[in-house]
Amino acid sequence: MSECCNGHEHDKKNDDKNNKLDMILTIIGIVIFAFSIYISNLNEIISLIGYILSYALIGYEIVFNAFKRLFKKDMFDENFLMMLATFGAFAIGEYTEAVAVILFYKIGELLQDKAVENSKKKISETIDIRATSASVKREGVIYDIKPEELKIKDIVVIKTGEKIPVDGKLLSDSAQLDMSALTGESKPVSLNKEQEVLSGSVNIGSLIELEVTKTFENSTVSRIIEMIENANSKKSNTEKFITRFAKIYTPIVTIIAILIALMPLFISISYVESLHRAFTFLVISCPCALVISVPLGFFVGIGTTSKKGILIKGSNYLDNLASIKTVIFDKTGTLTKGVFEVTKIISFGNMSEQEIIEKIALCEYYSNHYIAKSILNYYGKNIDTSKILSHEEIAGKGLKVKIEGQDILTGNYILMEENNIAVDKVIDIGTVCYLAINNKCEGCVILSDVLKEDIKDLISSLNNIGIKRCIMLTGDSSKVAKSIGESLGIKEVYSELLPEDKANIFEKIKKEEKENKIAYLGDGINDSPVLAMADVGISMGKGSDIAIETSDVVIMSDEPSKLIDAVKIARRTRNIVKENIIFAIAIKVLFLILSSLGMTSMWFAIFADVGVALITILNSIRIFYKFK
């Protein structure tokens, strides 16, 4: 990672050096150009040499790039068009105009590059929350080092107001963290000893210590920044269209320019005038505004969502978000907290309620499932793991455990049925976890999930922004699913589903929706197949590795209501990108017509090229400020 960073810094230094040299040569070129204009009436030969020299100093890079691409697939770019137009101006004796065009084009390009650089820098600074240093404690001595140099098991000391440099395990008794940069949520988060601490958070409490669990490059904040920076590689359909458009458009306008140059063969016009119109036409035709502003617009959109705690892996997913008509929700961990509370214990035989919960807690000890954690929290006592001889998880159904000579099954009703264990199905609002010992069902516990605080108005808010079909998929009983669906206003509910059932139902819904885009919100753990099948797969979950890996979008704050922000920003981005496309094409077409009729000069051509590009760049920044 450090080598990569050093390489990046080296490249940046080289770029800065080249930019400085380019600026010096341009200034010298401007001085010579001014001298050439001054002396033009006194000595034409010296004046011409001055024009050629100033052109070479100012436009050498443009000409070099044009010749480098000559006879290649991408030869018809703005460098080629500008070279052709200015060479043509020299050919017809318009020396002042030729140098002036290349000069103002160069200045415009510099302004344009600066505007793009500043825009990207502003967005990047807003979302780049990596710490620049870390205080590591080694053998009782604290050293200040770069976060890249931290190793697993290192002890890091974080003072009040400092950023957490890497992911780690909290060693202090408690911590107060500001996680707004990660989640977009301004409310401070309290953590206790042994809990996971995410990099990018800010310590707003007293001094804390943590044990490093992930290196800098593998920590949450580095992966998030890398994901955002790489998002440009996944282009939207709009960006792909513009790329294809530019490749076809440029050769066409070059042919039209040639036809304009040949106008004297058909109408009464001088060759000088027709060539002037043709070269002006070429300058105007440069598609800079489209090629630059469209990807920049999507970059700003992705940066804006990340500031809200919504990470989007590519502009194609941002584009799809703007078009979604149907949203499918997983229930547990998405609409609900996934924090189950034991509400009832039922004994079917001679075992007491305490014995039932104790036996189930013993079975669930090695499981990471929400239900297992809730049962263990409810039991609240130490577990003697020496009693557990074997442990097997059965996906979507439960556990098969051997404890002190007893064969135990604990899980849902389907697990009992498949193992031919006689039991009357318990009908209750909640998740039922049965306990069977040596093929006899002894009892069950009932757990109820808790809805997330921000979920109440989600469905109505989605309806208000034009998403009319909301569907819930869950492995819970139909009674529980129906109850939650009714409380949230979700009319379509599918219950008692296994992971493969969710995929089958999703396929069915996709056929019904045909061309409409579908988003799926899941917790990123057991919803991977459906997340992958959706047009936009959205994971809930505060930066978990699985959430970041399996989905197209990650809502870091674990708030489903953030979907509203994501859709609004996506639509705003698409609208502004469309504005840029329409504006750029309209101005281009107008000026191309005027230039072919001889009603514009090279000065207007520069505005139609660089000026329009600058306007569309500034328009793209409106996305960020609208949702700041």
Nearest to 583 by CA among 625, 620, 626: 620
Instruction: Give residues with Cβ within 8 angstroms of 20, minimum separation 6.
Output: none
The position carrying tokens 């992930």 is: 214
Give me 587's structure tokens.
Answer: 């101005």
330 is catalytic: yes
Amino acid at 576: I
What is 242-291 written as a DSSP string? Answer: HHHHHHHHHHHHHHHHHHHHTGGGTSS--HHHHHHHHHHHHHHH--HHHH
* Residue among 77, 154, 167, 330 flagged as catalytic: 330
Give me 464's structure tokens.
Answer: 């208000």
Query: What's the CA angle centered on 570, arms 224 and 331, to 5 degrees?
Result: 70
First-to-final CA distance of the chain: 31
**CA neighbours closer than 13 Å in the CB half-sphere of residue 61:** 14
524 vs 48: CA distance, rounded Å = 69
269 vs 280: CA distance, rounded Å = 16
605 vs 391: CA distance, rounded Å = 75
Q: SS3 of 500, please?
A: helix
Number of H helices, E strands in the chain: 21, 22
Nearest to 251 by CA among 81, 82, 76: 76
Phi, psi of 329, rounded to the nearest 5 degrees: -110, 135
Give me 411's structure tokens.
Answer: 């899980």
Instruction: Give residues with Cβ within 8 angstroms of 359, minimum separation 6.
Output: 351, 403, 408, 410, 435, 437, 442
Name the β-bridge partners of 536.
519
Instruction: Tell me the torsion sign for CA atoms 492, 493, 499, 501.
Output: negative
Amino acid at 230: N
Report the catalytic residues: 330
